[in-house]
Amino acid sequence: MKSKEELIYSLIFTDEVDYIIDICQYIEDYRYDKFVDEIKKVLKKSKVAIIKEKIDVDSRNIKWTLKVKK
């Protein structure tokens, strides 16, 4: 399992603006909506805007595609 803190750091402080996040690597259960809400709150507080997002859910993966503006 990957660290949520490392993901948040990357979303806020790196130069990258396009992300494809495999949410299953960060959560143990299938409650991805709570995880997404937590990340969005942190980004908003950090003044990072989500320009475009899409969540793809299938039987094995949950992919969150993001484009952000820092």
Tell me how many domains the chain contains. 1
The domain in which residue 51 lies consists of: 4-69
What average pLDDT values come out for the chain (70 residues) when binned by 10 residues?
A: 93 97 90 94 97 94 96
**DSSP letters spanning 10-35:** HHHHSS--EEEEEGGGT-SSS-HHHH
Which pair of structure tokens corresponds to residue 52?
A: 């475009």
pLDDT value of residue 23: 96
pLDDT value of residue 21: 97
